[in-house]
């Protein structure tokens, strides 16, 4: 039996735009994701999330399902344009009411809310009228919005996450242009990342000054990172793997934990990487009470000679290639999910050990981990054995990391239920609850039933011990 530490947090996660629906109801205004998804050709089958899982109307039923599985914590995000439609100025009382009711419902069922302030759905007005994340003033706009949330919900919410995955916002939103706001640039990702860090820092400073002493909560940020395994044991490949992790995670975590961008980035990006001024550093350095990590997969990393004309093979997911010169690849033997992401539990262990070592073993939470599969609902059941084994093997790897000294304190499955998977629309199912998009009926999958037992026992019997962790 793999037993987890006492008080280990067992959770699941979702985000506002992916599940809520009610896109223009009760005063909510559009976000950049509403606009992006409603622009033809931007999402699979032109899907949007006007209805999504209709969680806005069904949240009590959803909380009941969470209670049924004995969930300890639920991570959700607030739709900025639901509580402050223009992203500045007036607050929407019905938006406040919705999140307030959701929080009360969770607490009434003994489930701790973990609240993300920004999971990619910027109010469209800020994008159109104020240039969104490219505008240095956005840090103040974000802090004002955060102030509204702390003020209304902070009496009951004790775990805050400022931003979800700034890397995705920067690279997929402004580099590759596959996510909202759909821009393609080699420079903007660095500018946007800089403003994301400043916005995070301002919100944290505000929380610490105005609320933390009274409300007694914790605040942090969630970054995402895949593991990078050196392709060979050569010095060049080991350096490439390290460089790749620094461009991916160090980009955001180094300023917060070490007070500056990684040296490899400064050397390679040069003047295109903004400088952190002493004021920025004062704001950002030390601005996280815990380390939030979203992690799914990994790849090999190898050094590339800049004179060779080689491109990344791995789903373009490495950041700006020309700045790194790291070739990513996978082993055809590795099993994959329906995202085509490799299932690599040992990569999870190595990554959290890398984090723990580089950043001084901070309290760490895996705020997302999970697996998309081509699930079938048959006779009221979804036999998602691969998902159960995915979660089981990743948890076994986490357990091993804890034994090795990593200060991992919680784990959230992505996702509580199937939902709108961004550019891939409804074509990918990540949930441990199946959602029938015609009837909106929810069904716990076998993985949810298994996870319920894990929570109950604070551990599990590792049934696939031949798996490398």
- Minimum distance from residue 421 beta carbon to ligand GAL (Å): 5
Site for ligand GAL in 195-224 (CB under 6 A): 224
Q: Which is nearer to ligand GAL, 15 or 443 (CB)?
A: 15
Select the residue interacting with ligand GAL from 4, 10, 12, 15 (CB under 6 A): 15
- The verdict on 375 binding ligand GAL (CB under 6 A) reads no
The 3-class SS string of the chain reads: CEECCCCCEEEEECCHHHHCCCCCCCCCCCEHHHHHHCCCCCCHHHCCCCCCCCHHHHHHHHHHHHHHCCCCEEEEECCHHHHCCCCCCCCCHHHHHHHHHHHHHHHHCCCEEEEEEECCCCEHHHHHHHCHHHCCCHHHHHHHHHHHHHHHHCCCCCEEEEEECHHHHHHHHHCCCCCCCCCCCCCHHHHHHHHHHHHHHHHHHHHHHHHHHHHCCEEEEEEECCEEEECCCCHHHHHHHHHHHHHHHHHHHHHHHCCCCCHHHHHHHHHHCCCCCHHHHHHHCCCCCCEEEECCCEEEEEECCCCCCCCCCCCCCCCCHHHHCEEEECCCCCCECCCCCECCHHHHHHHHHHHHHHCCCCCEEEEEECCCECCCCECCECCCHHHHHHHHHHHHHHHHHHHCCCCEEEEEEECCCCCCCHHHCCCCECCCEEECCCCCCEEECHHHHHHHHHHHHCEECCCCCCCCC
Q: Which is nearer to ligand GAL, 368 or 418 (CB)?
A: 368
- The verdict on 226 binding ligand GAL (CB under 6 A) reads no
Q: Which is nearer to ligand GAL, 390 or 414 (CB)?
A: 414
Question: Which is catalytic among the residues 20, 368, 392, 421?
Answer: 368
Site for ligand GAL in 157-176 (CB under 6 A): 164-165, 168
- Minimum distance from residue 222 beta carbon to ligand GAL (Å): 8
Select the residue interacting with ligand GAL from 4, 430, 434, 451 (CB under 6 A): 430
Q: Which is nearer to ligand GAL, 8 or 422 (CB)?
A: 422
- Minimum distance from residue 252 beta carbon to ligand GAL (Å): 14
Annotated catalytic residue 20: no
- Minimum distance from residue 396 beta carbon to ligand GAL (Å): 21
Annotated catalytic residue 368: yes
Select the residue interacting with ligand GAL from 421, 435, 442, 460 (CB under 6 A): 421
- Minimum distance from residue 109 beta carbon to ligand GAL (Å): 24
Per CB under 6 A, residues contacting ligand GAL are 15, 18, 164-165, 168, 224, 294, 368, 414, 421-422, 430
Active site residues: 165, 368
């Amino acid at each position: 039996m793999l037993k987890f530490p006492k008080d280990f947090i067992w959770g699941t996660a979702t985000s506002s735009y992916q599940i809520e629906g009610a896109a223009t109801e009760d005063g909510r205004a559009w976000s950049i994701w509403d606009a992006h998804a409603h622009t033809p050709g931007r999402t699979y089958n032109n899907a949007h999330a006007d209805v999504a899982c209709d969680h806005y109307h069904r949240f009590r039923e959803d909380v009941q399902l969470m209670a049924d599985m004995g969930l300890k914590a639920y991570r959700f995000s607030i739709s900025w344009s639901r509580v402050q439609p223009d992203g500045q100025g007036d607050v929407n009382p019905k938006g406040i009411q919705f999140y307030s009711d959701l929080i009360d419902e969770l607490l009434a069922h003994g489930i701790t809310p973990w609240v993300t302030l920004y999971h990619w759905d910027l109010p469209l007005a800020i994008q159109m009228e104020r240039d969104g994340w490219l505008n240095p003033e956005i840090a103040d706009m974000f802090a004002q919005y955060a102030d509204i949330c702390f003020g209304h919900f902070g009496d009951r919410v004790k775990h805050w996450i400022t931003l979800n995955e700034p890397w995705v916002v920067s690279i997929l939103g402004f580099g590759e242009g596959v996510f909202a706001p759909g821009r393609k640039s080699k420079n903007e990702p660095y500018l946007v990342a800089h403003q994301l860090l400043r916005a995070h820092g301002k919100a944290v400073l505000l929380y610490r000054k105005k609320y933390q002493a009274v409300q007694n909560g914790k605040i942090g940020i969630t970054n995402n990172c895949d593991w990078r395994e050196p392709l060979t044991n050569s010095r060049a490949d080991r350096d490439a793997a390290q460089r790749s992790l620094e461009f991916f995670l160090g980009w955001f975590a180094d300023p917060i934990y070490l007070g500056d961008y990684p040296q490899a980035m400064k050397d390679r990006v040069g003047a295109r990487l903004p400088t952190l001024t002493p004021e920025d550093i004062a704001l950002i350095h030390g601005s996280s009470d815990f380390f939030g990590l979203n992690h799914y997969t990994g790849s090999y990393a190898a050094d590339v000679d800049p004179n060779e004309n080689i491109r990344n093979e791995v789903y373009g997911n490495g950041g700006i290639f020309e700045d790194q010169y790291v070739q990513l690849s996978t082993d055809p033997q590795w099993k994959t999910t329906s995202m085509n992401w490799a299932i690599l539990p040992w990569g999870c262990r190595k990554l959290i050990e890398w984090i723990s070592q580089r950043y001084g073993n901070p309290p760490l939470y895996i705020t997302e981990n999970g697996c998309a599969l081509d699930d079938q609902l048959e006779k009221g059941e979804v036999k998602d054995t691969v998902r159960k084994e995915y979660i089981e093997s990743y948890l076994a790897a986490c357990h091993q990391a804890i034994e090795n000294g990593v200060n991992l304190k919680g784990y959230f499955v992505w996702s509580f239920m199937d939902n709108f998977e961004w550019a891939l629309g409804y074509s990918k199912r990540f949930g441990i609850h199946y959602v029938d998009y015609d009837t909106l009926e929810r069904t716990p999958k076998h993985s949810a039933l298994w996870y319920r037992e894990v929570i109950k026992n604070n551990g599990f019997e590792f049934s696939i011990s031949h798996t490398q962790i």
